[in-house]
Every structure is written in structure tokens, then in C-alpha cells.
Amino acid sequence: MLTVVLISILAILIIAISLFVFVAVLLATPPKGTAQEMLSHRPKKGGRIVACIGDSLTHGNLGVCWVSMLRKEFPEDAFLNEGINGELTSQVIQRIKPILECKPDIAILMIGSNDVMGSFDKASGQRYMLRNKLTELPTFENYKKMLPELIDHLSVVPRMAICTLPPIGEYHDSEINKYVSKFNDFITKMAQEKNVSLLNVSDLMWDELDKRAYPVSNNYNPEISLIARRMLGGCIQHYIFKKPWDKVGESKGQWLLFDQIHLGERGARVMYESIKRLINQA
């Protein structure tokens, strides 16, 4: 009997470790179609080059990849997916050179969600410092320095649009979303001052949230164990049991953000439709 129990415990541990490794590898896997890949291979002739720059919300392996949706919509164009899981604005600046070397015709920038989470909560900021090897804690003041610098780097791109940030959690008046609003106000200000197009993703996401068919439950909590559990559980349900991301979110009372951070099918479609309109106008 004892042997059976020990074997069962060992099997559970092996499964748990395997799932943890799976998600860790997933997080570390770069997106497909990066600038480095384009520079390593001769790009196809004709069509535009569209650089989509950001973090995990652009990367799209934690949730739905709207960049892939745009590739299907505009097969003659080349879309660079320059979204890296967990990155802050300062890190995007460090890898901007190869993106610019591809000479994009259009740049779509959506960056700041990790800056928000890292500066909203001290423990989160310390985790970002350790994991991303930052020299200082993320702050709103630092974001206000980094974003204009990043926009200036991208000023050589003929057409540029910057996106406001999606909600974090789905309570409109939560403390975290009041904080997101501060960042979005600054993004809007920078778009005006730098004379670049603004895609008000935030308003579009809240409009979509008004269509919610069931009550919101569970506010955003920055505790790492809760974030990891939501993210790990969502990945298991989607990648192992093939559950659509929106269904994963529905099981947790979420409409757009399956783990309160990353986009499901509805959220990705908001991004896709907004950027499709911009590209059609270019």
C-alpha cells in the first residue's frame, strides 16, 4: 500500500515538474518571424514590412497572436513579431537596432504593461529586476523617460502608431486599472507631441468588456503564486486539453484576459481589427 502511495506521489511530482518545464520553455521561446530572422534570410520582394513591437501581448504564445491573424489578412506583406514575453520599455530600446535595419514601412508599438505591473507593486518590481536583470526598479517616472526615447528611435519609420495599454484584470475602477490609466494618459500625450498615430486599444477593450455575458469575478492580484497559477493553469487547459483561450477565461469569470493579463480570442480580435484598419489606410 505504501509503495502504491509513493509511486502515485512520484507520478504527480513528475507531471507537475513536466508541466512547469513546458510553460518555462514556452515563455522563453521567441516569436516566429523576428527581425533577426529577416536579416538572416533575404526577405521576399514586394509588399510592406510591418514591425509589431512589444511584450507578451504581441508575442502571442500566452494567448492569441494577433500578429499571426494579420499575416493571414495581408499575405503579401511581411510582419515582424518583435514581442518578447516579460519585457519592459527599456529592454525594447536595447534590441531596436535589428528592427530598424529591416527598414519597416509601418511600426506598431504597444509596450508598457510590464512597466505597469512592475511599478504598481514593490515585490513585483523586485521580481522584474531579478528576472530581467534590470539595474533599477521599474517606475512610472522611468517609463516617462524611456517611451519618448523609443518613439524617437522609431521616427525613421514612414508610418508609426502607438497603442494605449489593455486593462489588467477586468474591473474598470480597480487600483491597477486606475494606474494603467496614468500610463495611457502619458501614451496619448506622447502620440500628440511626437505626431504619431494613436490606437486607443484601451477604450476598444473596455467597449468589448461592455458586451460581457456573465459577471466579472476575481480582481487582479500581484501575488506571484496567483499569477503563476492562473498562467500555468491557462496554458495547461489550452495546450494540453485544447481549450480555446476565451473558454479558459470564462471558467475563471474573465471575458477578454484569460489570466487577467493576456489576450484571448476576443481581445486579439480587437487588436487585429484596429491594426487592420490602420494598415488599410497606409
Residue 218: the pLDDT is 85
Q: Model pTM?
A: 0.91
Confidence (pLDDT) at 46:
77
What's the pLDDT score for residue 80? Answer: 97
* Orientation angle between helical segments 113-120 and 140-153, nearest 10 degrees: 160
| Sign, Cα dihedral of 169, 133, 126, 175 | negative
Segment holding 274, helix H or strand E:
helix 265-281
Residues linked to residue 198 through DSSP beta bridges, in sequence order: 162
**Domain 25-202+265-281 annotated CATH 3.40.50.460:** no
Res 7: pLDDT: 61
Conformation bin of residue 162: beta by default, left when phi > 0, alpha when psi is -120 to 50: beta
Short-list 36, 109, 43, CA closest to 76: 43
Low-confidence ranges of the chain (pLDDT < 70): 1-2, 4-28, 42-45
CA 60/CA 99 separation, integer angstroms: 18
AA identity, residue 228: A
pLDDT of residue 165: 98
Average pLDDT over the chain reads 91
